[in-house]
Structure 1
Amino acid sequence: MLNRRQTLQHSWAVATLLGTAGFLPFKAIAYEKAAFDAKSVNAALKALGASAPVVSTEVTINGPEIADSGASVLLSFGTTLPNVKRVLLLVEKNPSALVANFQLSPIVDPQFSLRIKMSQSSDVYAVALTQDGKAFFAKREVKVTIGGCGE
Structure 2
Amino acid sequence: MNSKRREVLRVTAVLSLMAATGLITEAQAAEWNKTAFDGKSVADVIKALGGSGTEKSSAITFNAPDIAENGAVVPVAVTSTIPDTEQIAILVEKNPNTLAADFVIPAGTEPFVSTRVKMGQTSVVYAAVKAGGKWYVASKEIKVTLGGCGG
- The CA deviation at 1:30 is 5.3
Aligned to 1:65: 66
Q: How does 1:1-151 map to 2 (within 5 A)?
A: 25=26, 29=30, 31-131=32-132, 133-150=133-150
Inter-partner Cα distance in structure 1 for 2:36 and 2:49: 6
Provide the C-alpha distance between the structure 1 equivalents of 2:30 and 2:37, rounded to a whole number of angstroms: 12
1:135 corresponds to which letter in structure 2? W
Q: Which runs of 5+ in 2 are unaligned?
A: 1-15
Q: Quick one: structure 1 residues 30 and 148, their matched pair in 2 at CA, closer, same or farther if it must change by over 3 Å? A: farther
Give unmatched runs, 5+ long, in structure 1: 1-14
SS in 2 for 1:43: helix
Query: What TM-score results when the alignment is normalised by the length of structure 2?
Result: 0.79
For the 8 Å contact 1:78–1:126, the answer to whether it is kept is no
Question: How far 1:83 moved relative to its partner?
Answer: 1.2
8 Å contact from structure 1 (residues 95, 150) kept in 2 = no
In the TM superposition, residue 65 of structure 1 has moved relative to its aligned partner by 0.5
Compute the displacement of 1:24 (Å): 6.8
Contact 1:62 1:75 in 2 (8 A): yes
Distance in 1 between residues matched to 2:142 and 2:53, nearest whole Å = 23
- Per the alignment, do residues 148 and 33 of structure 1 end up closer, same or farther by CA in structure 2, a change over 3 Å counting? same
What letter corresponds to residue 142 of structure 1 in structure 2? Answer: I
Give % identity: 42
Larger Rg: 1 or 2?
Answer: 1
Aligned equivalents of 2:121, 2:53: Cα separation in 1: 25
CA RMSD of aligned residues (A): 2.6
1-side partners of 2:61 and 2:25: how far apart?
Answer: 36
Structure 1 moving runs of 4+ over 3 Å: none
Q: Write the distance in 2 (CA, Å) between the matches of 1:78 and 1:96.
A: 23
CA contact (8 A) 1:87 1:128 kept: yes
Aligned partner of residue 38 in structure 1, secondary structure: coil
Q: Find the counterpart in structure 1 of residue 12 from structure 2.
A: none
Task: Count residues with an aligned counterpart.
Answer: 133
The separation in 2 between residues aligned to 1:73 and 1:129, in whole angstroms, is 23
Q: What CA deviation, in whole Å up to 9, does each residue of 1:7-61 have, x standing for no partner?
A: xxxxxxxx8xx86xxx774xx5351110011111110111111131111110121
